[in-house]
Structure 1
Amino acid sequence: MSKLKSTLGIVAIAFITLTAMSCKDNKNEQNNADGNHSEMSADEDHSKMNHDNSDEHHDGDKKEMAMSGDGNSQAVLKDYFNLKNALVADDNAKAKTLGATLATTLGNFDVSSNFSDTQKAELKDIIEDAVEHAEHISESDIDHQREHFKILSKDVSDMVAITGTENTLYQQFCPMYDGGSAWLSLSKDIKNPYYGSQMLNCGKVQKEIN
């Protein structure tokens, strides 16, 4: 009987030890998962800040959040700048994803209020054309993405001319790409979406848009 008690005692101790170790392992796994999540979040934040080295640096995101006009134009501009940054970074896959995102945002643009009849008609044409080019960007290689981004930039500029923006935007111009091509930026610093790393700083500020 004493031997049986001894054996049961050993088994009980072993069970308790294994249970404690299992809990500890689960806790460590959870901590590791939480740590990895934090690292991923930090990496994502770092990545967002370094796409353009100027537009999204430090105050770039704050500027985007402060954009007014109506809520739809704010959303369009935010997605447009994200797409521009992907092209600056030569990131074809990300530009595809962001092109699709922008196409959806443009498709949800509401032109039914706060505009005159003439402005509504103009905005409708602008948005339809912009959606088409954003969709092409979502399906194309990076060279074709940049071709469509040129026309998309013209559409977004025309949209801003109607909707307005509280932030100062900078229309920038590259004389080298396709006979001369413009794009919008939140910063005066030139980060060229048409050439990316090949000629990152090719271009100049053409005008300010207030």
Structure 2
Amino acid sequence: MKKVKVTTGILAMSFLSLTAMSCKDAKNENNNVDGQHTEMNANENHSEMNHNNDDGHYNVEKKEMAVGNNQDVNAEVVLKDYFNLKDALVADNNAKAKELGAALVKSLSTLNVSKFTDAQKAELKDIIEDAMEHAEHISKSPIEHQREHFKTLSKDITDMVAITGTANTLYQQFCPMYDKGSAWLSMNKEVLNPYYGSKMLKCGTVKKEIK
């Protein structure tokens, strides 16, 4: 009987020991899973762009663009091409930025200004001409030069939106470091810097909300 009690006690202690080890392993496994989820969430929040697995670069902004009845549809196409170009610069993708600069030249050339007042037409024509020039330079330049032209291009697109309006809420963001201060437009509040890309991705602040 004494042997049976001793054996039972040993078995009970072994069971408790195994149970404790299993809980510890399960806790570690949960911690690892939680850590992976946190990293995945951080990566998802790290960018306002989708990742193109085919070429390893970022492209279109996650937020879908809406087109309102009162806004110029062609102007929204221009904005879409502009945001795609911005995303390519954020991703340090010179080849993609060249391609999107050329696409922006085309969309700007089709911007219909007929419904605006004479004063607005004149202003829009000047904006379009200047923006097309900078977009064309971007389509042929190394990335450092692309970013120089993107600064003025961003001003042109902002001036265009002031006249055409937009169906989307936009955010004017500002980097104090690049070329004594440079602005750009985004569809999201999160700052992803197109002037420095991966070097200083988060450099900048939201200066204004445009509706």
- TM-score, normalised to structure 1, is 0.72
Shift in Å, 1:196: 0.1
Q: Secondary structure at the match of 2:52?
A: helix
Greater Cα shift, 117-126 or 64-73: 64-73
CA distance in 2, matches of 1:173, 1:189: 12
Aligned length: 158
Please say if 1:195 is aligned against 2:196.
yes
Shift in Å, 1:108: 1.3
User: Is the contact between residue 79 and residue 102 of structure 1 (CA under 8 Å) also seen in structure 2?
Assistant: yes
**Letter of the 1:51 counterpart:** Y
User: Is the contact between residue 66 and residue 168 of structure 2 (CA under 8 Å) also seen in structure 1?
Assistant: no
User: Is the contact between residue 192 and residue 200 of structure 1 (CA under 8 Å) also seen in structure 2?
Assistant: yes
The equivalent residue for 2:112 is 110
Q: Deviations over 1:119-150 (max 9, x none)?
A: 00000000000000000000000000000000
Structure 1 67/90 Cα, relative in aligned 2: closer, same or farther at 3 Å?
A: farther
User: Is the contact between residue 124 and residue 160 of structure 2 (CA under 8 Å) also seen in structure 1?
Assistant: yes
User: Is the contact between residue 191 and residue 204 of structure 2 (CA under 8 Å) also seen in structure 1?
Assistant: yes
The equivalent residue for 1:142 is 143
**Letter of the 2:203 counterpart:** C
Shift in Å, 1:105: 0.7
Structure 1 201/179 Cα, relative in aligned 2: closer, same or farther at 3 Å?
A: same
The equivalent residue for 2:86 is 84
The equivalent residue for 1:119 is 120
Q: Would you identify which runs of 4 or more consecutive aligned residues in structure 1 move more than 2 Å?
A: 65-68
The equivalent residue for 2:181 is 180
CA distance in 2, matches of 1:129, 1:146: 16
User: Is the contact between residue 67 and residue 74 of structure 1 (CA under 8 Å) also seen in structure 2?
Assistant: no
Gaps of 5+ in 2: 1-49
Percent identity reads: 66
Shift in Å, 1:107: 1.0
User: Is the contact between residue 85 and residue 101 of structure 2 (CA under 8 Å) also seen in structure 1?
Assistant: yes
**Letter of the 1:80 counterpart:** Y
Shift in Å, 1:56: 1.8
Counterpart among 43, 49, 58 of residue 51 in structure 1 = 58
Alignment of 1:20-59 (within 5 A): 46-47=51-52, 51=58, 56-57=61-62
**Letter of the 2:106 counterpart:** T
Shift in Å, 1:67: 5.7
- TM-score, normalised to structure 2, is 0.71
RMSD: 1.7
Q: Deviations over 1:21-71 (max 9, x none)?
A: xxxxxxxxxxxxxxxxxxxxxxxx7429x737xx723xx1x2x14466111
The equivalent residue for 1:206 is 207
**Letter of the 1:198 counterpart:** K
Relative to total residues, which structure has the larger strand share, 1 or 2?
2
CA distance in 1, matches of 2:51, 2:68: 22
Relative to total residues, which structure has the larger helix share, 1 or 2?
1
CA distance in 1, matches of 2:105, 2:158: 16
